[in-house]
Amino acid sequence: MREAIARQIRGAQVRAPWLFGLKNAVQRGVRRRLKRPFEQDFEALRALGFDPSGLILDIGGNRGQSIDAVRLTLPRAPIISFEPNPQLADDLKDLFKADANVEIRQRALGDRPGEFTLFIPYYNGWMFDGLASLDRAEAESWLSADNLAGFDPQKVTIREVTCQVSTLDAECPGLSPVFVKIDVQGFEPNVLDGGRALLERARPVVMLESRHDVDMLAHLPAGYEAAHYDGMTLRLGDRQTMNTFYLPAEIARRF
């Protein structure tokens, strides 16, 4: 029932695209007032007890939800956010222009540098930025009658944007982040592979959207363990949760 209602709401929103912008602004205002992250898993940052000045990497900046979530726990930590979508990158720069400790870099990260096409799906003229991907099929897979009431495939368009792809190692030479969040629509293993030197040097906590079709530990240095947030603290072991945390052994032993 809940999903059916959500499907109807999404269908109404794409018929009146301005509702998306209003919804995003209202949701951000409410979350900031209530001091609640957009995903509960970000509350795990309190349990991790990071140095307040430790570097945070946000890979897949989107609309700034993760930056806002980090700021609830670490109000002055330096944050570097990577967002390849030029429209979103500009929006992020404007949104956080008053925060001198936030840096926005307009590029994608992968396992090697280069120039690739970013596929950005639109429906009825509205950008579904969270679905943008370096893989066209991945970008358009969610837009369907299963998720949008009154779905019309003729209203789907895919914008192709050429973007620069770098690697984590190339972008952050000598830097030692304490926390790395990666949400890049299925390309998380590529990002990890392109950051091998950084991961071995800094051994940060890594937060990824949970996937059970890929062994993420195979893309991390030795000594990492999977963990999940149970609403109170981190627990070792992978569970059916939205996100999985990967902890180096020296941090995992605390949990």
* pLDDT tens per residue across span 8-45: 434 444 555 555 566 666 666 667 776 778 789 999 99
pLDDT at 199: 98
pLDDT at 20: 58
pLDDT averaged over every residue in the chain? 87
Q: How far apart are CA 155 and CA 230, in angstroms?
A: 40
Reported CATH class of domain 2-113+167-252:
alpha beta
pLDDT at 17: 55
Span 70-89, average pLDDT:
95
Q: Structure pTM?
A: 0.83
Lowest mean pLDDT among 14-23, 175-184, 191-200, 244-253: 14-23
pLDDT at 155: 87
Bridge-based pairing state of the strands 108-109 and 56-59: unpaired
Are 174 and 148 spatial neighbours (Cβ–Cβ below 8 Å)?
A: no
Lowest mean pLDDT among 103-107, 167-171, 182-186, 223-227: 182-186
Of 89, 14, 16, 87, the residue nearest 58 (C-alpha):
89
- The amino acid at 108: A
pLDDT at 218: 96
Give residues with Cβ within 8 angstroms of 139, minimum separation 6: 119, 120, 121, 131, 132, 133, 158, 185
Of 37, 53, 63, 92, the residue nearest 207 (C-alpha):
37
